[in-house]
Amino acid sequence: MRVTINDIAKKAKVSASTVSRVIADSPRISAATKEKVLKIMKEMNYHPNMIARSLVNRSTRIIGVVLPGLAEQSFQHPFFPELLAGIGSSANQKGYKILLANVDTVDEEQQMVKELTYGGITEGIILLTSRDQSPTVEQLVKIGFPFVVIGRTDNPCVNWVDNDNFLIGYQLAEHFIQQGHRRIAFLGYSPGYMVTRDRMHGYKKALEDHQLPFDQEMVVESQFISGQGYDLMKLLLARKPRPTAVIACDDLLAFGAIKAIQEAGLQVPDDIGVAGINNVPLADYYNPPLTSVKINAFSLGTKAFEMLCTVLNSNVQSYNRAIIPAELVVRSSSRREKG
């Protein structure tokens, strides 16, 4: 049986409340007894029971992190661990623990969130999502549970942190335009996902701003899967005229695309320039090195946690947004020797 506060009290010949005060390092206690109690606590290897403490304090110092699973997106993406590290690191600092829930389906997600919100073990939730319609978000909003979204949704009544995906798309397109490209494809548009749509819109706007025609044929849909980049690039190569540059919504897609291009006997970037997004570690070592956009997943996580803290400690209702700056990293895959 675990040693409790009462065991300590008995041994020290004081009351439980005194021991409690020692634990809380209350000033309303004599140095002598404090020392005595501390000594006994050490002797008996006493540690407070967090559960009991939580019960009376109504505070668990635990937040839930809900991630879409392997099924939903490529959970294998390096993006996720970095995010988790960011959340964890700042949570650690503030003495919070993280309850991780990877869910595979929307149903599972809703069920999980129900448990997390009603169970009383979780004080707030960080939800990773980028879908337009998220029943989970609606539910959270409805019951007024503290949460912040990493990514974005339709619902305006949420706190979220995200990159400026519109800008990311815009900058990539502009990057290619400035190199003289006039026919730029967009690979990985995924209707139903804000991320990809925002990026696509940014790309489109850049074309407009530079008086370039927007061609629906140059936009192809897919998920964040490398294999799809390969297959879909083949489709793009069949278009006439074919694109001279490709923006892929993810580096893995870009890698696949490059492979397809090279297999077709074409050169990157000379025949077709390629850029990805997310700046995975390998981007730098691919052949050719891949132009990409660093999204700073760690910061996204950190900021999300901070925002959640703000929500938890404030009683005024407000909707907060934070944009984590992304950074274009130009490498050989998009650099023409001479326009």
- Give the integer Cα–Cα distance in Å for 176 and 56: 60
At 130, the amino acid letter reads S
Token representation of residue 305: 């946690």
Partner interacting with residue 33 (select from DNA, its own copies, none; CB below 5-8 Å by kind): DNA
At 129, the amino acid letter reads T
Extended strands (E) in the chain: 62-68, 97-103, 124-129, 147-151, 159-162, 184-189, 219-221, 245-248, 273-275, 292-294, 321-323, 327-329
Q: Which phi-psi region, left, alpha or beta, contains residue 330 (left: φ > 0; alpha: ψ -120 to 50)?
A: beta
> Can you tell me which of 16, 44, 106, 121 binds its own copies, judged by CB under 8 A?
121
Minimum distance between the CB of residue 62 and DNA, rounded to whole angstroms?
16
Burial label, 182 (beta-carbon count in 10 A; 0-12, 13-18, 19+): middle
Terminal alpha carbon distance of the chain? 76
- Sites for DNA among residues 246-275 (CB under 7 A): none
SS3 label, residue 78: coil
- Does 176 bind its own copies (CB under 8 A)? Our answer is no
> Can you tell me which of 33, 34, 36, 54 binds its own copies, judged by CB under 8 A?
54
**Part in contact with its own copies (CB under 8 A); list of ranges 8-16, 46-54, 168-176, 305-313:** 46-54
- Does 32 bind DNA (CB under 7 A)? Our answer is yes
> Can you tell me which of 10, 11, 34, 321 binds DNA, judged by CB under 7 A?
34
Partner interacting with residue 102 (select from its own copies, DNA, none; CB below 5-8 Å by kind): its own copies
Minimum distance between the CB of residue 257 and its own copies, rounded to whole angstroms?
10
Minimum distance between the CB of residue 57 and DNA, rounded to whole angstroms?
6
> Can you tell me which of 45, 56, 238, 313 binds DNA, judged by CB under 7 A?
56
H/E segment holding residue 201: helix 194-209
- Sites for DNA among residues 88-127 (CB under 7 A): none
What angle (nearest 5°) sits at the alpha carbon of residue 299, between those of residues 305 and 80?
85
- DSSP state at residue 284: G
**Which parts of this chain interact with its own copies (CB under 8 A)?**
2, 47-52, 54-55, 60, 62, 65, 69-70, 74-78, 80-82, 84-85, 88-89, 92, 97-102, 104, 108, 118-121, 225-227, 229-230, 252, 255-256, 258-259, 262, 280-282, 284-287, 298
**Which parts of this chain interact with DNA (CB under 7 A)?**
1-2, 4-6, 13-18, 20-21, 23-24, 27-30, 32-34, 47-49, 52-53, 55-58
